[in-house]
């Protein structure tokens, strides 16, 4: 029997419309559920259940009159802490900055409010969103609901933990190198990074995207009609679209799908991960797709160049902080960033140019295939207290080899659960499409979810 807190967006809206469940009733059930989980996984920041009750009550009144604001009216949602909401500070996951209330909603928050969503909390991230970890100098340590001794990944750490623990059907993360997909893979949820500009972001940065993190493909697809409305504050924002985001049927017969089992550099792929991804690829083959092995798109030179550029860029972000403030940054990140002070302008540009090389490499591959399958993460899991899968600031990006190229090429990609390890941890399958092929990625994800039966169980709340 489906618990109230496990209902999908579609199921909730049907119940709201039929008046068999009100947004207020649903929120109160969710509030109790969150109270059981939050002391263990610490997924939330600026959690305000009292304000959520008020928002849900207003939504209940609108539904009673048959006049919801929009397609998400009454649906509880969390936003990653980096997504500004008016009147609340944006700590950027770090103790180093002074807390100043945001003057206005970022585009995503604005779209959510316009459509009546109940924004009840922000979700945690590591310092400046620069880690794939639930570790932060500002927030409590966020943990993986499947096993709290393990890391949820990041930087959308709290969002992934909240989704896996069932804190409502919709959570929004951001992704510059895999920060939606990596934690989605490690927590067994569905994470979608759309084409660059499909969901407007502010502040904009090269490779930075936002995307839904949900338990099902359909919930993510449903949210896209709201999230993809353009916003002038993002200069890469795509024009208005008439995409039917819920048209998820596809016949994969004849599609050419590349299977990438080697990232080109970084951590080697665990055998369990490799086997799970190969088994997933066979499902596509059995359905009539043409699956072919493909070479990596990433090289060591590309990844190291990006590392140099990001160190220089981040040092530029924090150089004006006082030494006392800089020392408050998580030591792992501070240690990594300090070498950015020695990067010359020429070397920084050379590093940035490697993002162009990634784009070219990805583009060339997609002249041969319609889509790509790969592991999302190279390893099964790692300890909650670690700053990254290597826990070594000299090797900070060894785990992003499968995910980061698609940020730089601006292509859509998702992570969907494809199996579990012997230790009981989820394993993510990444599905990549051509630029602007957002619907193809969602359709392929939905097809796999259907063939595999989707997630049949989720972690249970402590106690």
Distance CA 262, CA 299 (A): 11
Provide Rg for the chain, Cα atoms: 21
Say yes or no to pLDDT of 1 above 80: no
Arithmetic mean of pLDDT over the chain: 97
pLDDT of residue 332: 96
Say yes or no to pLDDT of 213 above 60: yes
Say yes or no to pLDDT of 2 above 80: no
Token pair 């928050």 in the structure block, residue = 109
- pLDDT interval class at 343 (50, 70, 90): very high
- 22-62: per-residue pLDDT in tens? 999 999 999 999 999 999 999 999 999 999 999 999 999 99
CB 22 within 8 A of CB 14: no
Token pair 């779209």 in the structure block, residue = 111
- pLDDT interval class at 77 (50, 70, 90): very high
- pLDDT interval class at 463 (50, 70, 90): confident
Distance CA 125, CA 211 (A): 15
Higher pLDDT, 182 or 205: 182
Distance CA 415, CA 122 (A): 22
Q: Token pair for residue 128?
A: 């400046």
CB 373 within 8 A of CB 255: no
Residue 86 forms beta bridges with which residues?
none
Q: How large is the average pLDDT for residues 369-387?
A: 98
Pairing of strands 290-293, 256-259: parallel
- 414-447: per-residue pLDDT in tens? 999 999 999 999 999 999 999 999 999 999 999 9
Q: Token pair for residue 90?
A: 């944006």
């Amino acid at each position: 029997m489906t618990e109230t807190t496990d209902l999908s967006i579609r199921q909730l809206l049907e119940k709201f419309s039929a008046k068999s469940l009100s947004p207020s009733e649903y929120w109160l059930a969710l509030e109790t559920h969150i109270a059981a989980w939050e002391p263990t996984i610490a997924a939330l920041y600026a959690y305000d259940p009292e304000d959520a009750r008020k928002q849900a009550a207003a939504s209940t009144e609108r539904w009673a009159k048959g006049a919801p604001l929009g397609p998400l009216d009454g649906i509880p949602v969390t936003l990653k802490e980096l997504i500004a909401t008016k009147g609340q500070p944006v700590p950027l996951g770090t103790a180093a900055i002074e807390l100043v209330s945001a003057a206005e909603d970022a585009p995503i928050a604005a779209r959510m409010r316009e459509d009546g969503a109940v924004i009840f909390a922000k979700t945690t991230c590591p310092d400046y969103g620069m880690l794939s970890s639930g570790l932060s100098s500002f927030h409590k340590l966020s943990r993986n609901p499947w096993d709290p001794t393990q890391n949820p990944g990041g930087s959308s750490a709290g969002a992934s933990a909240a989704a896996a623990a069932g804190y409502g059907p919709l959570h929004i993360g951001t992704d510059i190198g895999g920060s939606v997909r990596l934690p989605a893979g490690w927590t067994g949820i569905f994470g979608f990074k759309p084409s660059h500009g499909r969901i407007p972001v502010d502040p904009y940065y090269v490779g930075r995207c936002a995307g839904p993190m949900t338990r099902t493909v359909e919930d993510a697809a449903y949210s896209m009609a709201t999230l993809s409305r353009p916003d002038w504050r993002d200069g890469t924002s795509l024009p208005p679209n008439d995409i039917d985001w819920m048209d998820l049927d596809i016949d994969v017969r004849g599609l050419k799908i590349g299977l990438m089992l080697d990232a080109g550099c970084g951590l080697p792929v665990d055998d369990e991960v490799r086997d799970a991804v190969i088994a997933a690829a066979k499902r596509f083959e059995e359905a009539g797709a043409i699956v072919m092995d493909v070479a990596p798109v990433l090289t060591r030179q590309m990844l190291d160049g990006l590392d140099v550029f990001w160190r220089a860029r981040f040092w530029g972000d924090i150089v004006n902080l006082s030494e006392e403030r800089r020392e408050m940054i998580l030591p792992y990140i501070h240690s990594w960033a300090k070498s950015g002070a020695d990067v010359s302008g020429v070397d920084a540009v050379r590093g940035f140019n490697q993002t162009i090389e990634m784009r070219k490499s990805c583009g060339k591959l997609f002249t041969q295939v319609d889509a790509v399958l790969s592991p999302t993460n190279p390893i099964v899991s790692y300890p909650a207290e670690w700053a990254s899968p290597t826990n070594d600031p000299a090797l900070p990006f060894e785990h992003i080899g499968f995910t980061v190229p698609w940020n730089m090429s601006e292509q859509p990609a998702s992570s969907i659960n494809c199996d579990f390890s012997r230790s009981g941890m989820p394993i993510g399958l990444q599905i990549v499409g051509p630029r602007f092929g957002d619907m193809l990625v969602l359709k392929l994800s939905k097809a796999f979810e259907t063939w595999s039966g989707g997630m049949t169980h989720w972690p249970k709340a402590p106690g």
